[in-house]
């Protein structure tokens, strides 16, 4: 393989793979990327066997071929070079020579035959979705994904699309749950319902759609989720397992309803939480007619409280929550007014934007 390629194109290509290659994987080959040069294009392949990515850019291909080299080494060397063309030449024993002007270096490579085979897919099964909409749905659910590796089926976001075009994402860690519904145009195709997309794959989806706003294409086939954007294709191995019946976690007919200014609630909560227990982050909400007092108490640090005006006409109530869970919810909302619904100090709290019923967040209470 021998090619000439613009520095910016090469860095863009390799940069997309940096977070995918697994530095801790027991398979040494997975810290590398595969470059495949043919005709006037160079394709890149990267995988950690859970998330895989392929992309391509224009290059002058003097000799076609394939090479597998360290992702980080190639990126860091090229990043320090001047703007302009870089020459990459595959040498004996799979080494790769990098040349520009008077500079040259050689990095160790491995045989491309040792690199994992990439999943194939059927391009007829893709459906289009707004990248803005997809990112919004991920942002509104990913913070609720569980970190408990023993509950692997909760280590991702549940995703489904109904026959009517209702697109839903759900995430829970057992202490809180986030659910968002959006309507999309299906066209002629539909995705299979009910799959679990792992957290790492969701972050890679966000990276791609942040760099390229507009429409993206998605598909689900077998155990893989696919996202396609221009020349980039992302492949994510889905989490096997049965997701819990999330509908049963959403309390119904809650009688105590509090309307709050989102920004006032968020800033007050941030201030009071500074003196909450560092592990539990417990705060107490003391509700009375048209006012709410937020308080925290930590014998090792001190105590704090703040009162704010709210729209509330129910019975007086004291209920405790993990402040971090509430803050995560509020940070994900862009409406100026939110509504908190509860029954009593033992019931879960439901938080929704007042003007957007498509987004529901459930937070379990704490005994304080």
Tens digit of each residue's pLDDT, the chain (368 residues): 999 999 999 999 999 999 998 777 668 889 999 999 999 999 999 999 999 999 999 999 999 999 999 999 999 999 999 999 999 999 999 999 999 999 999 999 999 999 998 877 776 778 899 999 999 999 999 999 999 988 899 999 999 988 888 899 999 999 999 999 999 887 655 555 689 999 999 999 999 998 878 899 999 988 999 999 999 999 999 999 999 999 999 999 899 999 999 999 999 999 999 999 989 999 999 999 999 999 999 999 999 999 999 999 999 999 999 999 999 999 999 999 999 999 999 999 999 999 898 999 999 999 88
Neighbours of 339 (CB within 10 A): 18
Between CA 49 and CA 55 the distance in angstroms is: 17
CA 81 to chain CA centroid, Å, is 32
Please give the pLDDT value at position 186: 76
Residue 133 tokens, joined: 């909409």
pLDDT reported for residue 18: 92
pLDDT of residue 192: 58
| Long-range own/partner contacts, residues 108-111 (CB < 8 A, 24 or more apart) | 108/69, 108/70, 109/32, 109/67, 109/68, 109/69, 110/29, 110/32, 110/68, 110/69, 111/68
Q: Which residues pair with 366 in a beta bridge?
A: 320
Question: What is the Cβ-side half-sphere exposure of residue 296, based on CA atoms within 13 angstroms?
Answer: 25
Predicted confidence at residue 187, as pLDDT, reads: 66
Q: Round to whole Å and give the CA distance between 358 and 180.
A: 6
- Contact between 352 and 362 under an 8 Å Cβ cutoff? The reply is no
Q: What is the pTM of this model?
A: 0.92
- What pairs with residue 219 in β-bridges? 226
The string over 244-271, giving b where at least 16 C-beta atoms fall within 10 Å of a residue's C-beta and e elsewhere, is bebeebeeeebebebebbbeebbebbee
In the block, tokens 């590398």 appear at 32
Domains of the chain: 2-114 (3.10.150.10), 127-247 (3.10.150.10), 250-363 (3.10.150.10)
Q: What SS3 class is residue 3? A: strand
pLDDT given for residue 188 in this prediction = 58
pLDDT at 89: 97
Q: Catalogue the E-assigned strands of 184-231.
A: 195-198, 215-221, 224-229
Q: State residue 68's pLDDT score.
A: 96
Find out whether 114 and 196 touch, Cβ atoms under 8 Å.
no
Distance CA(105)–CA(110), nearest Å, equals 17
The predicted pLDDT at position 283 comes to 97
Query: Which residues are paired to 127 by β-bridges?
Result: 218
Give CA–CA dist 327/283, Å, rounded: 12
């Amino acid at each position: 393989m021998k090619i000439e390629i613009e520095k910016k194109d090469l860095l863009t290509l390799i940069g997309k793979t940096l977070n995918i290659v697994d530095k801790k994987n027991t398979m040494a080959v997975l810290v590398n990327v595969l470059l495949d040069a043919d005709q006037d294009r160079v394709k890149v392949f990267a995988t950690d066997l859970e998330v895989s990515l392929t992309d391509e850019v224009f290059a002058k291909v003097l000799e076609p071929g394939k090479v597998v080299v360290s992702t980080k080494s190639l990126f860091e060397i090229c990043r320090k070079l001047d703007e302009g063309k870089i020459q990459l030449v595959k040498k004996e024993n799979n080494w790769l020579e990098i040349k520009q002007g008077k500079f040259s270096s050689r990095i160790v490579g491995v045989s491309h035959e040792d690199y994992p085979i990439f999943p194939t897919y059927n391009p007829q099964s893709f459906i289009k979705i707004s990248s803005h909409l997809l990112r919004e749905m991920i942002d509104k659910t990913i913070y609720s994904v569980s970190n408990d590796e023993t509950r692997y089926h909760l280590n991702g976001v549940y995703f489904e699309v109904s026959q009517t075009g209702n697109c839903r994402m759900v995430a829970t860690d057992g202490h809180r749950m986030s659910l968002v519904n959006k309507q999309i145009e299906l066209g002629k195709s539909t995705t299979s319902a009910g799959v679990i997309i792992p957290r790492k794959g969701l972050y890679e989806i966000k990276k791609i759609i942040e760099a390229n706003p507009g429409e993206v294409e998605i598909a689900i086939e077998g155990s893989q989720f696919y996202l396609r954007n221009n020349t980039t294709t992302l492949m994510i191995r889905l989490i096997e397992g049965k997701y819990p019946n999330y509908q049963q976690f959403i309390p119904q007919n809650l009688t105590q309803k509090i309307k709050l200014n989102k920004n006032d609630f968020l800033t007050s909560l941030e201030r009071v939480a500074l003196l909450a227990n560092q592990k539990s982050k417990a705060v107490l909400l003391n509700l009375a007619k048209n006012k709410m007092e937020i308080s925290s108490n930590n014998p090792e640090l001190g105590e704090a409280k703040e009162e704010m005006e709210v729209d509330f006409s129910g019975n007086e109530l004291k209920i405790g929550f993990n402040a971090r869970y509430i803050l995560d919810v509020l940070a994900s909302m862009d409406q100026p007014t939110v509504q908190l619904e509860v029954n009593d100090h033992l019931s879960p709290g439901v938080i929704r934007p007042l003007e957007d019923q498509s987004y529901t967040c459930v937070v379990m209470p704490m005994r304080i």
